């Protein structure tokens, strides 16, 4: 059974008389342990997809099965629990709590889980154990994103969802972050979903889902993904 | 373009309703409170001025130690500045109103009122007309409109009718004492005063109406009297004709022109009145002499008439006596003569009868012997011729003897008759003697009686003469309106509100400034990019600044207008309503007058604070170059706080707590806004509760800890000892009374360099040990018992404070006259110690100390009693004790306690006002803080939501710092409230009452808990806002 299965998922906004479909009927599957890249241009509905997948947004119709459970039927509290236990998020702008040190930011996530990874271990995984007592303002963008990844991993989530994780970073740092996500998938056997407008990332993915205008236009399975080190954009 | 600028501004306002509202609300609260408190004092003064003018309250009252003559009124009206004047009578008596006996001042309605109007045709420039006269033009109604509004001390008839008959009276509508007296009830003047008949024509009156009198506008004190406890309990009004004819005029009331309408009790008014008072004093000098002379002349004339009558009577009495005497003397002479004559007649008769008897006897003897000689011869032996001779001779003898027998019988008869006549005469004489004797004794007793009677009368006449010689010079005492009970204290209460107005709003303004600071800072921060854009577009710095100033200006001006409009009506009303328990001064109808100066001042301060703060914030941001402004502000760097270095604490905190602490100390502005706001909130609550404690303490401490009796009985100073023992016999009934002690009490006046004329009660104690069972004399601090013995003088705390003296410092006390005015009899004293006391002023003296100080002898006139309240009710006590003639008053502590509890109503209102404003303050501050916190941390909150924080966890995380700030503020507020309450208490205290100084522990707890509850309420509502935050929207991009 697939870890994730979207069945005709629609998200329609009503702007007065006009209906705008951010998702016009997504259909795809994600298997456990895959590194998935969802790629599409601006306005294609990829963030909507991620929000629905992450339990941050509701669907208008369709079903999203996670491990066979339809999360579209969840109420708010169940969605919160779903986010809490099953999902790890990494954002474009890191969204670290400024008033917490790196370690504390990780703890923020780990302390609410049943089976968290020790915070310091999560930081080791992203090689930031030496900066654990620094505040976000004392860290570079890449370091902050690594803290964000550590925070997401510390929860031991089923799914790691990354929204343009390199969007605010320079090329080199972005590449390092991508590498880190790749390692997370391969070494820690996590299912990682990366959302990006950058199709170059497709080369590191096991599964590439291409979307445009609220629809999945192509799903490419890649049995031999390349390493993040060698891709260029 | 300008339009667009404004359009954008309007959008800004509508787009940030919460922010706008916070600014609006705090300015409304601050300005409204300030204006409301400022205007409370002003409105109180306005209310009293209105009421006193409406009722034409006298500006001056003149009383005289010898009363007034009819023409005094006509002279007084001539004084420049006097507009109208009236004369009336008053008499103090104990009056039974059914359920209680009250010391009462019985006033006559106006006897005569004169009005001065300007008249250019007159030499003096004015004319005086008599607008009311009991004899020619009586005015029974003394209502507001009567006499064209010119009658003085007009009464406001609240129920019933004006009196039309001599046996009708008006009683107070306002006084608690007479609330139960209904129209139609009878009240009875008790015959406890000797001169009652000299004043009143009747002792029973039917209540025909209830009135309010501006002359008696203070519930706590109507005045003093020589009766009862020394305090007047009530007043009634009767017709002038209910007083006896030609009764002494006791009061003159004057109303002044006051051409510039100086406000009641203003400095100008007082100066103006003082000026007229000088003129009255000048007039008084001649008038009081004339009054004295007139009284002396009248009395002398009457005495002279009496003396004449006395002399005439004496003369006629003695002449009658003399006549009687001469008649007696004459009859005595006649008697004596008669006696002599009778004596002589008797002697004569004796002699006559004796000689006649002698003659008869001698003749008889001669004849018998001759016969005997003849019979010795035998006739037969005799010659015939001789014998014939013999026979003839014998016969002759025999015949002579027979004749003698006849003569004897005749003599005897004559004798008997004569002596009977003489005896008759003797008897007649004796009778005459007897009647003479009784006449003489009658005369003697009559004379003795007359002698003593006339001697007595002479003595009385001498005494009366002496009295006339001793008549003291009349003295006019001019009492201004200021000295009327309630008038000055009401004005002083208004001043107290003024001083509170100077302190209280400070908190609100300080918080307003902080709210403005945080709000505008946040607003400008949020709009950095916009500002940058404007700047880049070429808008001048001033223009952009104006944008924020206009925003803040609109919010604060609207807030100020709203707050002032509401609170400048509500607060003065509440304050006046609270004071209405003590003062019977009408609250003016809505709308209360608006004092524009106060509006400008409070509104100005509020708006200025907001604008200045906004300007300072805007200026700082605008100095930044446009390019920098276009970039988002770097998030505030996380910072370690001092607490982190205290490892033992820090390491024990969960890291969520750690972040809370960091957040708290990260933004100083918000920290101070919140802490000061909450401090103010808790402080206000504590002030309110503390006030309530203080007043309650008066009752609890005064009547539980300090005094230990439930009944006070006073009796006449000159009470007969049998009356006193009658009382004591009753009190000795153990089943009804558990104890009593006696002492001497009297109202007196104390004064020192720093304060004049403080009335107090002196309590002189002989049985010091017994006394201690009824009164505890102790220090307020430490409750240490004061050593009180027969030589001690102890003064109560508030009196000492007001006299500004300490123990062992000298001051003076003065005796009072019958009307409660200060006399010239004063004593220098010093107190040995100062005792805790909350209600009234007392000086406690041992009897030895009293005798030494005053030179008077100690005697008792008061009992402190512990009555068994279960089986011996007040009614029982009243009915038994009032049968004893000498009993003056019986006071029950319960009643006093009830009275004080009534006045709690005003305090409760103040407490409500304080609690409400505290709550508002807390709400605005917390609302603003949380609002800013949430909008600023919306990304953080969204992140946490995404991380899967549950609602409760999220609230805990975000609101924990609010709660901690609230706790810090509340703790500081307890300290602040402690000091603020001290200030308010000392400001709000009235003369004869000292409020408790302690705030109860419970009040601290309640203030603290309430603050936290307010906080939780705000948090509850802000929780919804937290829930509404949309993760997706909030995380979309950087603002």
Rounded to two decimals, the ipTM of the complex is: 0.90
The answer to whether B946 contacts A54, with C-beta atoms less than 8 Å apart, is yes
Q: Is B259 on the interface with A (CB under 8 A)?
A: no
Q: List B775's β-bridge partners, or say none.
A: B707
Q: Is A57 on the interface with B (CB under 8 A)?
A: yes
Backbone angles phi, psi at B60, to 5 degrees: -150, 145
How far from B348 is each of B161, B343, B354, CA to CA, in Å? 102, 9, 10
The answer to whether B1032 contacts A108, with C-beta atoms less than 8 Å apart, is no
The answer for A 141-170 residues in CB contact with B (under 8 A) is 151, 155
The answer to whether A84 contacts B948, with C-beta atoms less than 8 Å apart, is yes
Q: Is B547 on the interface with A (CB under 8 A)?
A: no
Chain B residues within 8 A of A108 when measuring between CB atoms: 655-656, 944, 947
Task: Show Cβ contacts of residue A118 under 8 Å, excluding neighbours closer than 6 positions.
Answer: A110, A154
Helix axes B904-936, B668-700, angle to 10 degrees: 160
Which of B546, B553, B552, B527 is closest to B624 using CA atoms? B527
Chain B residues within 8 A of A135 when measuring between CB atoms: 637-639
Tell me the helix, strand and coil percentages in chain A, rounded to 5: 35, 30, 35
The answer for B 932-951 residues in CB contact with A (under 8 A) is 939-940, 942-951
The answer to whether A93 contacts B1038, with C-beta atoms less than 8 Å apart, is yes
> Which of A85, A107, A137 minimises the CB distance to B637?
A137
Chain A residues within 8 A of B634 when measuring between CB atoms: 137
Q: Is A74 on the interface with B (CB under 8 A)?
A: no
Chain A residues within 8 A of B940 when measuring between CB atoms: 95, 97-98
Query: What confidence category does residue A222 fall into, taking pLDDT thresholds of 50, 70 and 90?
Result: confident
Task: Show Cβ contacts of residue A137 under 8 Å, excluding neighbours closer than 6 positions.
Answer: A98, B634, B635, B637, B638
Give the total residue count for chain B. 1039
Q: Could you check whether the bond before residue B591 is cis, i.e. omega within 30 degrees of 0?
A: yes
Q: What DSSP line would sit under A46-59, residue for residue?
A: HHHHHHHHTTSS--
Count of C-beta atoms within a 10 Å radius of residue B230: 20
Q: Is A116 on the interface with B (CB under 8 A)?
A: no
Count of C-beta atoms within a 10 Å radius of residue A13: 11
Helix axes A141-154, A102-110, angle to 10 degrees: 20
Q: Check: CB of residue B712 under 8 Å from CB of residue B230.
A: no
Task: Show Cβ contacts of residue B419 under 8 Å, excluding neighbours closer than 6 positions.
Answer: B349
Q: Check: CB of residue B60 under 8 Å from CB of residue B280.
A: yes
pLDDT number for residue B785: 92
Q: Check: CB of residue B85 under 8 Å from CB of residue B114.
A: yes
Chain B residues within 8 A of A87 when measuring between CB atoms: 948
The residue in chain B having the minimum alpha-carbon distance to the alpha carbon of residue A50 is B1032
The residue in chain B having the minimum alpha-carbon distance to the alpha carbon of residue A103 is B655
Q: Check: CB of residue B762 under 8 Å from CB of residue B845.
A: yes
Q: Is A175 on the interface with B (CB under 8 A)?
A: no
The answer to whether A111 contacts B947, with C-beta atoms less than 8 Å apart, is no
Chain B residues within 8 A of A52 when measuring between CB atoms: none
> Which of A104, A109, A137 minimises the CB distance to B947?
A109
Chain B residues within 8 A of A77 when measuring between CB atoms: 950
Q: Check: CB of residue B273 under 8 Å from CB of residue B482.
A: yes
Helix axes B721-731, B874-881, angle to 10 degrees: 150
The residue in chain A having the minimum alpha-carbon distance to the alpha carbon of residue B1037 is A93
Chain A and chain B share a number of CB contacts under 8 A equal to: 90
Return the structure tokens found at B940. Answer: 């953080």
Which of B13, B92, B30, B89 is closest to B821 using CA atoms? B92
B1013 to chain A, closest Cα gap in Å: 27
In angstroms, the CA B66 to CA B470 distance is 13
Which of B565, B728, B674, B617 is closest to B966 using CA atoms? B674
Return the structure tokens found at B750. Answer: 């104390």
> Which of B662, B950, B951 minimises the CB distance to A99?
B662
B647 to chain A, closest Cα gap in Å: 15
Chain B residues within 8 A of A93 when measuring between CB atoms: 1035, 1037-1038
Which of B684, B662, B682 is closest to B671 using CA atoms? B662
The residue in chain A having the minimum alpha-carbon distance to the alpha carbon of residue B940 is A97
Query: What confidence category does residue A46 fall into, taking pLDDT thresholds of 50, 70 and 90?
Result: confident
The answer to whether B948 contacts A80, with C-beta atoms less than 8 Å apart, is yes
Q: What is the DSSP letter of B317?
A: H
pLDDT, mean of residues A92-102: 83
Q: Is A99 on the interface with B (CB under 8 A)?
A: yes
Q: What is the DSSP letter of A60?
A: S
The answer to whether B635 contacts A137, with C-beta atoms less than 8 Å apart, is yes
Q: Is B656 on the interface with A (CB under 8 A)?
A: yes
> Which of A83, A99, A135 minimises the CB distance to B947?
A83
Q: Is A137 on the interface with B (CB under 8 A)?
A: yes
How far from B973 is each of A14, B693, B937, B977, CA to CA, in Å? 51, 18, 28, 6
Chain B residues within 8 A of A114 when measuring between CB atoms: none
> Which of A77, A80, A99 minimises the CB distance to B659?
A99
pLDDT number for residue B1039: 39
> Which of B940, B953, B1038 minimises the CB distance to A97?
B940
In angstroms, the CA B862 to CA B888 distance is 9
Q: Is B666 on the interface with A (CB under 8 A)?
A: yes
Helix axes B2-15, B17-54, angle to 10 degrees: 90
Return the structure tokens found at A5. Answer: 């299965």
Task: Show Cβ contacts of residue B500 under 8 Å, excluding neighbours closer than 6 positions.
Answer: B37, B984, B987, B988
Which of B939, B654, B954 is closest to A104 using CA atoms? B654
3-state secondary structure of B356: helix
B656 to chain A, closest Cα gap in Å: 8
Count of C-beta atoms within a 10 Å radius of residue B738: 12
The answer to whether A99 contacts B943, with C-beta atoms less than 8 Å apart, is no
Backbone region of residue B88 per phi and psi (left: phi > 0; alpha: psi in -120 to 50; beta: other values): beta
Q: Token match 């001048």: residue? A: B540
> Which of B638, B656, B939 minimises the CB distance to A137?
B638
Average pLDDT, consecutive stretches of 10 residues, N- to C-terminus, chain B (1039 residues):
72 83 89 90 91 91 89 91 91 85 89 87 85 79 72 89 91 86 91 82 92 87 74 89 89 91 90 92 90 88 89 90 90 89 88 88 85 80 81 85 88 89 89 89 90 88 87 86 84 82 81 85 82 82 85 92 92 86 84 88 91 88 77 66 75 76 79 86 87 79 89 85 87 86 90 81 92 92 90 92 88 80 84 90 93 91 88 77 78 78 68 80 83 83 86 86 89 92 78 76 92 90 86 65
B660 to chain A, closest Cα gap in Å: 9
The residue in chain B having the minimum alpha-carbon distance to the alpha carbon of residue A80 is B948
Chain B residues within 8 A of A56 when measuring between CB atoms: 945-946, 1031-1032
Q: List A210's β-bridge partners, or say none.
A: A39, A218
The answer to whether A84 contacts B947, with C-beta atoms less than 8 Å apart, is yes
Q: Is B1024 on the interface with A (CB under 8 A)?
A: no
The answer to whether B638 contacts A100, with C-beta atoms less than 8 Å apart, is yes
How far from B941 is each of A138, B935, B953, B1025, B1031, CA to CA, in Å? 22, 9, 11, 11, 8
Chain A residues within 8 A of B943 when measuring between CB atoms: 91, 95, 97
Q: What angle do CA B254, B256, B260 make, to 5 degrees?
A: 165
pLDDT number for residue B1038: 47
Q: Token match 């407490």: residue? A: B911
Q: Check: CB of residue B966 under 8 Å from CB of residue B1003.
A: no
B943 to chain A, closest Cα gap in Å: 6
């Amino acid at each position: 059974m697939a870890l994730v299965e979207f069945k005709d998922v629609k998200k329609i906004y009503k702007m007065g008389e006009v209906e705008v479909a951010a998702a016009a009927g997504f259909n795809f599957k994600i298997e456990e342990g895959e590194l998935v890249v969802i790629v599409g241009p601006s306005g294609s509905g990829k963030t909507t997809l991620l929000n629905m997948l992450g339990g941050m947004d509701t669907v208008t119709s369709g079903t999203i099965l996670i491990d066979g459970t339809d999360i579209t039927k969840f109420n708010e509290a169940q969605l919160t629990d779903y986010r809490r236990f099953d999902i790890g998020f990494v954002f474009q702008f890191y969204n670290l709590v400024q008033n917490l040190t790196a370690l504390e930011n990780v703890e923020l996530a780990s302390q609410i889980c049943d089976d968290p990874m020790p915070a310091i271990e999560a930081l080791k995984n992203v090689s930031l154990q030496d900066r654990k007592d620094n505040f976000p303002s004392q860290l570079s963008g890449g370091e902050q994103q690594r803290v964000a990844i550590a925070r997401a991993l510390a929860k031991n989530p089923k799914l790691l969802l990354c929204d343009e994780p390199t969007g605010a970073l320079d090329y080199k740092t972005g590449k390092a972050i991508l590498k880190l996500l790749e390692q997370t998938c391969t070494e820690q056997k996590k299912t990682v979903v990366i959302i990006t407008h950058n199709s170059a990332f497709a080369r590191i993915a096991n599964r590439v889902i291409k979307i445009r205008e609220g629809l999945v236009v192509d799903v490419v399975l890649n049995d031999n993904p390349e390493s993040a080190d060698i891709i260029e954009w | 373009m300008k339009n667009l600028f404004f359009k954008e501004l309007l959008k800004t306002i509508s787009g940030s309703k919460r922010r706008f509202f916070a600014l609006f609300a705090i300015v409304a609260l601050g300005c409204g409170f300030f204006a409301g408190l400022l205007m409370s004092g002003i409105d109180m003064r306005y209310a009293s001025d209105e009421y006193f003018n409406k009722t034409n309250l006298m500006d001056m009252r003149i009383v005289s130690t010898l009363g007034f003559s009819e023409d005094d009124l006509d002279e007084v009206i001539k004084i420049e500045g006097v507009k109208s004047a009236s004369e009336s009578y008053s008499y103090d008596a104990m009056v039974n109103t059914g359920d209680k006996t009250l010391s009462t001042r019985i006033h006559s309605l106006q006897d005569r009122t004169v009005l001065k109007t300007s008249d250019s045709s007159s030499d003096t420039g004015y004319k005086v007309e008599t607008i009311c006269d009991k004899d020619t033009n009586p005015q029974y109604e003394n209502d507001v409109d009567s006499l064209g509004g010119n009658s003085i001390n007009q009464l406001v008839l609240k129920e019933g009718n004006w009196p039309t008959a001599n046996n009708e009276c008006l009683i107070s509508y306002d006084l608690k004492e007479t609330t139960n007296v209904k129209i139609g009830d009878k009240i009875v003047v008790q015959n406890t005063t000797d001169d009652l008949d000299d004043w009143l024509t009747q002792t029973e009156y039917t209540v025909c109406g209830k009135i309010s009198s501006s002359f008696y506008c203070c519930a706590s004190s109507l005045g003093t009297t020589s009766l009862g406890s020394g305090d007047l309990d009530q007043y009634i009004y009767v017709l002038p004709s209910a007083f006896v004819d030609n009764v002494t005029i006791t009061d003159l009331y004057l109303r002044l022109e006051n051409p510039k309408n100086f406000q009641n009790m203003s400095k100008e008014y007082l100066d103006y009145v003082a000026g007229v008072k000088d003129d009255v004093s000048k007039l008084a000098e001649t008038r009081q002499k004339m009054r004295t002379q007139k009284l002396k002349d009248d009395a002398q004339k009457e005495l002279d008439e009496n003396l004449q009558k006395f002399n005439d009577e004496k003369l006629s009495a003695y002449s009658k006596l003399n006549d009687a005497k001469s008649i007696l003397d004459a009859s005595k002479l006649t008697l004596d003569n008669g006696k002599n004559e009778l004596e002589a007649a008797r002697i004569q008769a004796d002699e006559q009868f004796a000689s006649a008897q002698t003659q008869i006897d001698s003749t008889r003897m001669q004849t018998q012997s001759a016969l005997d000689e003849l019979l010795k011869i035998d006739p037969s032996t005799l010659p015939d011729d001789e014998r014939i001779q013999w026979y003839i001779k014998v016969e002759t003898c025999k015949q002579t003897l027979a004749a003698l027998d006849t003569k004897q019988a005749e003599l005897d008869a004559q004798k008997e008759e004569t002596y009977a006549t003489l005896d008759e005469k003797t008897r007649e004489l004796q009778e005459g003697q007897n009647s003479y004797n009784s006449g003489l004794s009658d005369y003697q007793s009559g004379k003795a009686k007359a002698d003593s009677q006339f001697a007595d009368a002479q003595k009385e006449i001498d005494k009366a003469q002496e009295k006339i010689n001793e008549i003291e010079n009349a003295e006019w005492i001019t009492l201004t309106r200021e000295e009327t009970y309630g008038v000055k204290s009401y004005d002083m209460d208004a001043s107290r509100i003024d001083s509170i107005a100077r302190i209280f709003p400070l908190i609100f303004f300080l918080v307003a400034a902080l709210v403005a600071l945080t709000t505008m800072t946040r607003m400008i921060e949020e709009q950095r990019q916009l500002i940058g854009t404007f700047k880049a577009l070429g808008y001048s710095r001033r223009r952009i600044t104006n944008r924020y100033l206009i925003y803040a200006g609109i919010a604060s001006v609207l807030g100020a207008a709203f707050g002032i409009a509401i609170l400048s009506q509500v607060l003065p009303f509440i304050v006046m309503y609270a004071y209405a328990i003590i003062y019977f001064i009408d609250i003016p109808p809505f709308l209360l007058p608006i004092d524009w100066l106060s509006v400008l001042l409070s509104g100005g301060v509020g708006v200025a604070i907001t604008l200045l703060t906004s300007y300072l914030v805007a200026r700082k941001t605008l100095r930044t170059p446009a390019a920098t402004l276009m970039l988002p502000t770097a998030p505030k760097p996380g910072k370690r706080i001092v607490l982190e270095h205290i490892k033992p604490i820090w390491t024990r905190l969960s890291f969520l707590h750690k972040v809370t602490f960091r957040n708290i100390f990260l933004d100083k502005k918000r920290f101070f806004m919140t802490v000061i706001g909450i401090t103010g909130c808790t402080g206000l609550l504590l002030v309110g509760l503390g006030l309530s404690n203080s007043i309650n303490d008066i009752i609890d401490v005064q009547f539980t800890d300090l005094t230990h009796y439930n009944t006070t009985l006073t009796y006449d100073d000159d009470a007969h000892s049998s009356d006193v023992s009658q009382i004591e016999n009753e009190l000795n009934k153990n089943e009804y009374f558990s104890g009593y002690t006696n002492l001497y009490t009297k109202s007196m006046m104390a004064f020192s360099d720093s304060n004049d004329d403080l009335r107090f009660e002196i309590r002189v104690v002989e049985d010091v040990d017994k006394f201690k069972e009824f009164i505890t004399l102790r220090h307020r601090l430490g409750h240490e018992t004061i050593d009180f013995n027969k030589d001690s003088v102890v003064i109560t705390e508030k009196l000492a404070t007001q006299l500004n003296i300490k123990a062992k410092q000298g001051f003076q006390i003065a005796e009072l006259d019958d009307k409660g005015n200060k006399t010239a009899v004063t004593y220098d004293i010093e107190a040995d110690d100062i005792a805790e006391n909350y209600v009234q002023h007392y000086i406690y003296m041992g009897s030895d100390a009293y005798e030494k100080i005053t030179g008077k002898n100690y005697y008792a006139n008061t009992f402190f009693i512990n009555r068994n309240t279960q089986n011996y009710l007040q009614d029982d006590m009243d009915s038994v004790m009032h049968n004893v003639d000498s009993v003056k008053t019986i006071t029950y502590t319960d009643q006093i306690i009830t009275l004080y509890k009534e006045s709690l109503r005003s305090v409760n209102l103040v407490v409500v006002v304080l609690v409400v404003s505290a709550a508002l303050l807390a709400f605005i501050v917390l609302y603003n803080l949380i609002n800013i916190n949430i909008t600023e941390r919306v990304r953080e909150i969204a992140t946490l939501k995404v991380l899967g924080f549950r609602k409760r966890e999220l609230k805990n995380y975000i609101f924990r710092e609010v709660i901690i700030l609230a706790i810090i503020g509340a703790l500081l507020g307890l300290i602040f409230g402690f000091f603020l309450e001290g200030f308010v208490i000392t400001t709000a205290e009235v003369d004869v009452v000292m409020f408790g100084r302690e705030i109860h522990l419970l009040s601290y707890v309640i203030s603290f808990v309430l603050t936290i509850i307010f906080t939780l309420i705000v948090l509850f509502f802000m929780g919804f806002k937290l829930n509404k935050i949309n993760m997706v929207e909030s995380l979309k991009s950087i603002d």
